[in-house]
Amino acid sequence: MAKESGLGMSAIIDDSGGSARTISNDITSIDIATPREEQDITGLDKSARERLLLLADFTVAISGVFNDASNMSHDVFKTVPSTSVARTTTLAVSGQTLPGELFYTDYSLSRSASGELTWSAPGALAGGVVPTWA
């Protein structure tokens, strides 16, 4: 595998009705995290830390440009404050995919002084399935 850029990345996110929507064109930035919790189990007899790996997680922070065209980003996220559904989210780059069931906890709009209208939407793992790149 060679080093690559993130160019050509795609994001497919379910709307609140469960229909998959490709909104990659609206997204301008994305942060992806797949952290693991850890437990310190260092005994008194040790001179260095001992740890156990615990639960896995998957979070995203997505930002983009407002687009209220049918089935685009505003259609996908406008129901975040009024629905409590997990949304299948699949991120892909260079033939690698990271799927997950996520709860989106906010859909924030921001209008800058110059007139730009942008949004942000953070998501967190909902379904208890370990996030795995495939």
CATH number (domain holding residue 83): 2.40.30
- 77 domain residue, yes or no: yes
Query: With bands split at pLDDT 50, 70 and 90, how would you rate the model's confidence at 127?
Result: confident
- 2 domain residue, yes or no: no
Q: What is the pLDDT of residues 11-68, one digit of tens each?
A: 999 999 999 999 999 999 999 999 999 999 999 999 999 999 999 999 999 999 999 9
- 84 domain residue, yes or no: yes
**How many whole angstroms separate alpha carbon 15 and alpha carbon 127?**
17
Given a cut of 80, is residue 1 above it in pLDDT?
A: no
Query: Which range of residues forms the domain containing residue 34?
Result: 11-125
- 130 domain residue, yes or no: no
C-beta separation of 64 from 118 below 8 A? yes
Residue 25, helix vs strand vs coil = helix
Domain count, the chain: 1
Given a cut of 80, is residue 73 above it in pLDDT?
A: yes
- 132 domain residue, yes or no: no
- 28 domain residue, yes or no: yes
Given a cut of 90, is residue 2 above it in pLDDT?
A: no
Strand-strand pairing, 87-93 and 96-104: antiparallel
Whole-model pTM?
0.89
- 4 domain residue, yes or no: no
